[in-house]
Structures are given as C-alpha cells and as structure tokens.
A and B are shown apart, each in its own frame.
Chain A
Amino acid sequence: MRWSMVIDLDKCVACQGCSIACRFENNTPVVNPAEAVKGRAVRWNDVFPMPINPTEETGEYPNVKTRYLTRPCMHCDNPPCVKVCPVQATYKDDEGLVRQNYARCIGCRFCTVACPYGVRYFNWYAPEWEEPMSEHLNPDRIEGDGDLEGPAIRPKGVVEKCTFCIHRLRKARARAEAEGRRFRADEYVPACVQTCTGKARFFGDLDDPNSTVSLLAKSPRAFRLLEEVGTHPKVVYLREG
C-alpha cells in the first residue's frame, strides 16, 4: 500500500479542526504563549494563508485575494529529511510513510533544516501538560524495543512529526488480524481526516487505482505543494474553483 491524502481546498473552510484533532490524537506537547511567539509551538498539522501567486502582492483590504492551506506532513516519496538523517531515526517505510523514532533521534536537527515544508518540530524542553490535560492524553502509544513513535510521550531534545496516525494504522491492522481477515485500506484514516468539518480530506491507498485518493489525484485540479523541489509529496491538494 502507498498511503496518501487528498485535501480539497474548495471544501476546506480553514476551521483548524484538523490541527486540534491532531493535537489530541498525537499528544503533541503544548507550549506557553511566550514560547509560541518564538516559533516553538508544535503543530503537526498547520493552517496558514497561502498567496495565490507568491511573486505578486496579494493586495490590501478589501481588495485581497488569498487562500488558506492546511498542511500535514507531505510524506514525500523523495523525502529530503530522510536523506540527511545520520542515524535512520527518520525513514520511509514500505508503505511510503515517513516515520520518526524518538528513541533513536540524536537531536541534530538536520532533518528540520532540510525539510522545505517545515513539518518537523523539535522538543526544546521536555513536554509538560497541566492538569487536567495531563489526565487526558491519548493512551494509544507505540513504545518499547528501541521504538518510540506517534503519540508516545517524547523526551526532550528530539524531533517529531506527523505520522498519518501510525498508531491508528497499527490498531486497524491488529483488529483485522484478530478477526482473521485481510486488512483493507479503507479501515483506517488519520484523526484529521476523520474530524474534517467540510469533508475536505480524503485518505487511502495510491496503489489501488480505484481508490478515492487515486481518482482525485488524477483530477485536473490536483497539485502538490512545492512541486518544483522534487520531493514528490503524497499529499495532493485540489485547487479552488
């Protein structure tokens, strides 16, 4: 399988629901406002304004034209972050997911400077949650045996990133196995896809030519973020209009 996400910008209302769902699903560390201003907030899924044409002025109010983009990790087929990791703490797995192992990361931040999308986040301090948030962390964790991934609580000084909710995938697989049947690609979606208000996000298997994502990726509206960099993202956007 080759996991992929399609985001239809015509349907997206920039409500940031995806970002919030992601935060609670993946136990991303919270930081105080002072730290956030410095750019240390952790948002695996981010929402930001994106000029229609970056080389031109977008105009002044009320004659503005802009659009919003929601951005998970692109899970590139040619990931610049994976190339530069000195210890294989980040790697692309058999299903095209760009994974991150907190237990092995040495915190050199080479991947964070190499990623042109800025989807990688660093733990400047050890994560802390105030009461009562600390009681409501997601218990689905991938940890043990030199492996610390997804919603697992990270130590300070390591890099983290969107995993397309790898723990959900594991759970879905385990369920299929327990029930003694083949796992199907539509049995799992990441939290952001599940929560999306405008149903703008689609998720599935690119290897299946009839899957929703495969069909949508062929749309004339389809584009990828920073295509010119040659990263071959597996997140596909559908242009507005």
Chain B
Amino acid sequence: MRLTAPYHPQNKHEGTILSPLRRIALADRWLWAVLLGVMGLGAYAYSRQWIFGMGVTGLNRPVYWGVYITNFVFFIGLAHSGTFISAILRLAGAEWRKPLTRAAEAITLFSLPFGVASILIDMGRPDRALNVIFYGRFQSPLLWDFTAVSLYLFSSVVFFYLSLLPDIALCRDRLTESPLWQRRTYELLALGWRGRPEQFHRLERVLDGMAIFMTMLVVTVHTVVSWVFGMTVQPGWHTALIGPFFLLGAIFSGTAAVVIVLAILRRVYHMEEVLTVSLFNSLRKLLIVFTLGWFYMIVAEHLTQFYGSLPEEMEVFWQKFTGEFALLFWLMFLTVFVLPLIIFVFLGKNRIGWMVTASVLVNVGMWLERYIVIVPTETRPRLISTLMEGMGNYQPTWVEGAITAALFAGLVLLYAVFTRLFPIVPIWETAEVVEAEAPPVQPRRRVFGAGRAR
C-alpha cells in the first residue's frame, strides 16, 4: 500500500521555527539543571510539610489561607493567556494573533497543573484528595472549582494538541536526523496526519467550535475561582464584583505573560522575523485596555466599600490602604497600574524592552493583588475582638517560599523543554499557502487496489 507523500503548507520561516528543535544547547542543559535544583528544594520543603503538618507554614488562625492559595489563583489566572489569545481572538477573527497562539496556549497548558498542585499543597490531608470524588458536594464552591479547572485542563490539552497536530506531522517528516525516541514520538503523536485539504478543513472547524466552548470556560473558570472567596460572608470577599475583577485580572496577567514569553523566544531562538514587533504593538493596545479596566474595577470596588462604610468592611479597607498591607497595596497599585500605564502608553510602542519591563511589573503586581485580596480579609474577621495580642498576622515561612519558587521553576522548565521538542510558533497557521497547492487526492480504489496487486 502506497500513500501519497504527506502535504505540508509552505512557510518561508519553517527553517527558523524548526531550528530550536534540531539542537539542544549546553545553556539549555544548565537552565534545566538549575530549574530542577529549585524544584528539588521545593520538594524537600514539601516533604517537611508532609511529615510534620501545615504547622511548618506561616498560616495560623484566622489566616488559614495564604501564599498557596495566592499561587493557585495566580497560576489559573496566568493560564488565561492562551485561551484568550487563541480562542477569543480566534472568534474575533484577529489574524495577527496567529504567530503567538501556541506560545500563549503553552502558558495555559503548563500553568494549569501548577494551579492544581497549589490546591493540593494547601490541603492538610492531600492523601484524602480523592474524597472530593467519593463524597463530593456540589453545594461547595470548591467542587465548582474542581469541576471547572479539570474541565479547563482537559479541554486545553485537547485544543492545544489539535492545533499542534499538523506541526507534529511536519516534525515527523522534517526532523529525520533526531534521536529515534523523538522520531517515534512524533510519529505516534501525529496520528497519521497527511495534510489533506479535508483534514485541514475539519481541523479548522473543530478548532472554531472548541474556541466557542473555551471562551465560555475562560469566563467560568476564573469567576468560579473568585467565588471560593465571594460566596463566603467575609468582609472584603463577599462582593458580586469579585468574579469580573478576577476574570479581568486573569486575562490581564495572562496577556502580560505572553509579552514576556514572546520577547524571550524572539531573543533566544532568533525569531525576529517571525515574531515581529507589530505583535508587541497589538498586544500593547490590548494591555492598555486591560490596565484601564483594572483601574476601573479597583475604583468601583473600593469606592463602594468606602462610601458605604460598613464597619467590618472598613477594617479590611484600612488594612489595605493604611494598615499592615499598605506597603504591598501601594506597591501593587504602582506595578499593576501606574508604571505599566505610563510605559504602555508613552514608551512601549516599537520598544520590546519597555514592554517586557511593564509586563513583568504587571505580573508581579497581579500576584500581589491576589495576595491582597485574600489575606487582609482574613486578618480582620467580623469578631475582631476574638483576636488576642499577636494574632491577625501572617508571615510566610521559607517552606512556602521554596514551594512557590519550585512551582514557578516547574512552569519555566516545562516551557523550556517544550520549545526544544515542538515548534513554538504554529507553522501551518502562519503559512502563506495552506490549501492552494494540495496534491490531487488519488481515488481510493486505486490505492487499495495497489496493495492487492502486490
């Protein structure tokens, strides 16, 4: 049986995009080793926590949730980058998104597992995690989270894999000199992709359909994450705004993360031709909108709180504005809003360095924002007089720091390894010609007949 040679869309940047896959540099191995080292430290820290209990963290009563839950919200937020870029912009028909879809989706795919891990790490009895399945109660927002995040993870994997399919086939056919295991993997994962016009047609249809579903998931997932807080009656958390605010923050930090990743890929893998400056300019416009949107949200939330002045709400409010969290709060305000806005509006155009600076600031600030949403509320409960001298504080320990570092290292490691194994820019989506030069499909009878004749 003889099939026609697989067809691959023509892309003049194919060589550039595939070049990182051809060779693993010494610097890569060093990077991986360092990241693994950091993860090892995190694993050691976690082993302390597993053996002795949650007491090794800085958590206490009433601050039962701290850095781990902050990480959870942050990673899930970061994950919204990919889906936003590839699903929402796909639906919107924004063609410029194409070169960066995969780089963005990879952030989604690799940060979600660390979001899930953060929840497991925060659990006092991770050994009983399966109770959530055996005895799960859907009245609990945690179950909503569990459902939404696992569905999100699953659909992201499918969405990502499908859009990767033609490129895996390309790797299978082009990277013939790579090690045997790598070629075998490509062959297996390519699922016999031949690049026939109807295959492309079907793929596009599936991706369009999934994009609609994924867009709904993006909205649901992060809203549900916020509802873990919003559904309680605690001052500062119990507001209807928390859902939209979290969602906006998630897309904001996700999009900023895409800028950082793009700049690194561009520099390290010499993709200046592929990842053009115009991409950064397009992202810049989006980011300006998100920065202003974030400002709108924070004003809406805090002005409502301040004007209404409910006593228990004000305790939390002052905790943020002038109290123990004032330094972090204003630092957040500076790094999420003031500096990025100045940079995006006045300095960012055509200047990648500035864009990256602002994006890093945004992500640092967004982590702080999550922390500031979560912790101050806990430090000022309604029955504030139950707090004895010294209570109502939270000082994270080295264990929490090491585990957090390990989670971020894990994200970078997965990403770095991925870029060495698969093309990080979608070759088929950015191709100039996709279907025009498709080879004529041979009648099936002749193909089958050929086998029988032999």
Contact = CB atoms under 8 A, between A and B. Distances in A.
Interface of A (DSSP majority class):
loop
A50 interface: yes
A38 interface: yes
Contact of A225 (B140, B231, B383, B384): B383
Contacts of A108: 119, 122-124, 142
Contacts of A49: 385
Contacts of B385: 48-51, 54
Given A39-B61, A124-B53, A156-B124, A116 B382 contact: yes
Interface residues of B, number: 50
B53 A87 contact: no
Nearest to A40: B60
Contact of A88 (B53, B137, B378): B137
Given A71-B386, A124-B53, A225-B383, A113 B124 contact: no
Contacts of B139: 83-84
A17 interface: no
A39 B61 CA distance: 5
Interface in B381-410: 381-392
Interface string A103-127: 0111111101110111001111110
B135 interface: yes
B52 interface: yes
Given A123-B53, A125-B55, A112 B64 contact: yes
Contacts, number: 155
A35 B234 CA distance: 25
Interface in B53-75: 53-55, 59-65
A37 interface: yes
A86 B125 contact: no
Interface stretch (B99-107, B126-134, B352-360): B126-134
A87 B131 CA distance: 6
Contacts of B392: 39
Nearest to B122: A108
Interface of B (DSSP majority class):
loop
B129 A106 contact: yes
Bin chain A's interface residue count: 35 or more
B228 interface: yes
Nearest to A42: B61
B53 A126 contact: yes
Of A38, A155, A229, which is in contact with the most chain B CB atoms at under 10 Å from its CB?
Answer: A38
B232 interface: yes
A157 interface: yes
A87 B378 contact: no
B271 interface: no
Given A157-B53, A226-B382, A229-B233, A110 B140 contact: yes
B396 to A, nearest CB: 13
B152 interface: no
A189 interface: no
Contacts of B389: 37
A106 B381 contact: no
Given A40-B55, A114-B232, A86 B383 contact: no
A18 interface: no
B136 interface: yes
Interface of A: 35, 37-40, 46, 48-51, 54-55, 71, 80, 83-89, 104-110, 112-114, 116-118, 121-126, 155-159, 225-226, 229-231
Given A38-B60, A48-B383, A157-B123, 12 more contacts: A46-B386, A49-B385, A83-B139, A87-B136, A104-B128, A104-B131, A104-B135, A106-B124, A116-B234, A122-B124, A157-B124, A225-B383
15 contacts: A39-B390, A48-B383, A54-B384, A83-B139, A83-B140, A85-B137, A86-B137, A107-B124, A110-B228, A113-B62, A122-B61, A123-B53, A125-B53, A125-B55, A230-B233
